[in-house]
Amino acid sequence: MELNWLKTFVIAAEHNNFRKASELLYISQPTVTVHIKQLEKEVGIELCVRDGRKVMLTEAGRSYLKHAKSLLALYEEGISELHSIQQGFTSRLTIGISPLIADTILPFVLKQFIRSHPTIEISVKIIESIKIEHAVELEEVDIGLSCLPNIKTDLECHPLYDDPLVLVVPHDGFDLETGYPLEEEDIFRHHTLLTHNHPGYWDELCQQIKAKYPHTKMMKVSQTHITKRFIIEGLGVSILPKTTVRRELLEGRLLVVDCRSINLPDAKAYALMKYEHSLQKEFLRFLSHYRI
Rounded distance, CA 144 to CA 149, Å? Answer: 10
Rounded distance, CA 100 to CA 103, Å? Answer: 5
Question: What is the CATH number that goes with domain 3-86?
Answer: 1.10.10.10
pLDDT value of residue 74: 84
Say yes or no to pLDDT of 4 above 80. Answer: yes
Q: What is the mean pLDDT of residues 241-249?
A: 91
Q: Where are the domains of the chain?
A: 3-86, 91-161+268-287, 162-267
3-state SS, residue 91: strand
pLDDT value of residue 202: 94
Rounded distance, CA 191 to CA 169, Å? Answer: 9
List beta partners, residue 240: 166
Who wins on pLDDT, 247 or 179?
247
Say yes or no to pLDDT of 178 above 50. Answer: no
3-86 and 91-161+268-287: identical CATH topology: no
pLDDT value of residue 221: 94
Question: What is the CATH number that goes with domain 91-161+268-287?
Answer: 3.40.190.10
Q: Please give the share of the chain, as a percent, with pLDDT higher than 90.
A: 41
81 pLDDT band (50/70/90 cuts)?
low
Comparing 83-92, 125-134, 194-203, the range with the smallest average pLDDT is 83-92
Average pLDDT, the chain: 86
Q: What is the DSSP letter of 85?
A: H
> From residue 184, how far is each of 92, 139, 228 by CA, in Å?
49, 45, 19
pLDDT value of residue 89: 47
Q: Is the pTM of this model over 0.75?
A: no
Domain 162-267 grouped into CATH 1.10.3720.10: no
pLDDT value of residue 73: 84
* Per-residue pLDDT tens over the stretch 20-77: 888 888 898 889 889 989 988 888 989 888 776 678 888 898 888 988 898 888 888 7
Long-range pairs for 185-191: beta carbons < 8 A, 24 or more residues apart: 185/213, 187/237, 187/257, 188/212, 188/213, 188/216, 189/213, 189/215, 189/216, 191/217, 191/236, 191/237
Q: What is the DSSP letter of 183?
A: P
pLDDT value of residue 192: 96
Who wins on pLDDT, 159 or 172?
159
Say yes or no to pLDDT of 17 above 80. Answer: yes
pLDDT value of residue 87: 58
pLDDT value of residue 256: 92
